Amino acid sequence: MAAGQVFSKSARGVYVDPTLGSKFKVVTGAGKVNSKDAAVAACQAAGLTLADVTQANWADVVNAVRASTAVNPNPLDAVVVNSWDGNDYGGVALQLNVRATSDTITNAGITLLNAPAYPLCQQAATLKAAAATNSTTTAAAAAAPAPQIARKDGNLAIVGPATHVKHAAAMCKQALGDGAAPAVLDVAKPADVMKATALAVSVVGVNKQVWVGGNKPSVLVTKAVAPGQAVTSPDNVGSDKYILCKKA
């Protein structure tokens, strides 16, 4: 089909309050693009994906176009999209032509991309899945497990099961009683650090991490070659680990 040929056209126009936001966004970081591949890449660079526009989500198009200072639909402008009403026309580069009226933005036709235009992007499905996973993880971390002392040496103890750092203080207190908390290790006292490391190794093994105390999430690393390197930030602050507790 020749460039500029209209695949479909809808005169559908709706009044939408632009302050309500949109699931779409006109992405300008890569400038105007002249191919579908370039449009996809520009969206991906913004953590988004090329938009699938339908009659049902036209209100989001209106809000996105109105929110963008890069698109001027008066009298006519265009954005690159992935599909219209579920049809990507064989994967060709499509432009959605938009025209302003007195109270809305109307669809002036879906055509082959015939001039550079900014891509219209939307939230990627993978990002939505990640958000759902994070919500599930947060819910799972809400309840602290019943603490158990895995091994004890004097006023130090390794407490399990492995859990989120948010439960560390409560589990130390439940396991060892009042005055117990995640151990704060002083790297200026290498003997104390080595003692704690040996206790941790006896439970979790080498090349592992256990939660310790501090003013931010911190771990004791059981593979450290020197006490000064033993206490550090966790490899994953959201992961479950055993806790090194200390009774005052």
Cα gap 192→113, rounded to integer Å: 68
Res 140: pLDDT? 46
Cα gap 183→157, rounded to integer Å: 9
Query: Which residues are CB-neighbours of 121 under 8 A, at least 6 positions away?
Result: 24, 25, 26, 27, 42, 43, 46, 48, 49, 50, 51
Q: What is the mean pLDDT of each run of 10 residues along the chain (248 residues)?
A: 43 41 86 94 92 89 90 93 88 91 84 94 63 48 81 95 91 94 91 91 90 90 70 85 95
Answer for the pair 201, 150: CB distance below 8 angstroms, yes or no.
no
- Which residue shows structure tokens 């070659």? 225
Looking at residue 126, the DSSP 8-state letter turns out to be: H
In terms of Cβ atoms closer than 10 Å to its own Cβ (0-12, 13-18, 19+), residue 90 is exposed
Top CATH class of 148-247 equals: alpha beta
94-100 and 77-81 strand pairing: antiparallel
DSSP bridge partners of 112: 94
